[in-house]
């Protein structure tokens, strides 16, 4: 994952954004047993995220979002508020794009994609 982020971040047309809420989610997910990451590896990835990603601080725009998994709303909100072209995820519900609605907001061509491994 981190190599994919590094590759994307080296292209001048790409800016990878994250906010504190999404970063904390990433850190907690890295600790999942299924990833078999030692604590040192988790810390290294979190440190690289700080180097690679631009922190986006939103004013908390009150978009009405609906997700099958309410925990996914933070990722959609970040993508929309930062006017991102892509939301990159391995989350199946987000990838299906059938699990959310944005009310009273016309998001321009947000594409939800999976990272290339």
Q: What's the per-residue H, E or C state across the chain? A: CHHHHHHHHCCCCCCCEECHHHHHHHHHHHCCHHHCCCHHHHHHHHHHHHHHCEECCCCCCCCEEEECCHHHHHHHHHHHHCCCCEEECCCHHHHHCCCEEEECCCCCCCEEECCCC
Average pLDDT value over all residues in the chain = 79
pLDDT at 91: 85
Q: What is the mean pLDDT of residues 104-113?
A: 67
| pTM for the model | 0.76
Any idea which of 12-21, 49-58, 61-70 has the lowest mean pLDDT? 61-70
Is pLDDT at 89 greater than 80 in this prediction? yes
Parse the chain into domains and list their residue ranges: 1-57, 61-117
What is the C-alpha to C-alpha distance for residues 94 and 68, in angstroms, rounded to an integer? 9
Q: Are 27 and 48 in contact (CB under 8 A)?
A: no
């Amino acid at each position: 994952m981190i190599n994919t982020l590094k590759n994307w971040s080296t292209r001048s047309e790409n800016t990878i954004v994250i906010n504190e809420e999404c970063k904390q989610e990433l850190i907690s997910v890295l600790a999942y047993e299924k990833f078999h990451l030692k604590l040192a590896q988790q810390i290294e990835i979190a440190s690289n995220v700080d180097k690679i990603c631009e922190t986006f601080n939103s004013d908390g725009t009150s978009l009405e979002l609906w997700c099958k998994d309410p925990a996914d709303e933070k990722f959609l909100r970040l993508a929309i508020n930062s006017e991102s072209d892509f939301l990159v995820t391995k989350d199946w519900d987000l990838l299906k794009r059938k699990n959310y609605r944005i009310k009273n907001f016309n998001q321009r061509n947000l594409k939800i994609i999976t990272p290339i491994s």
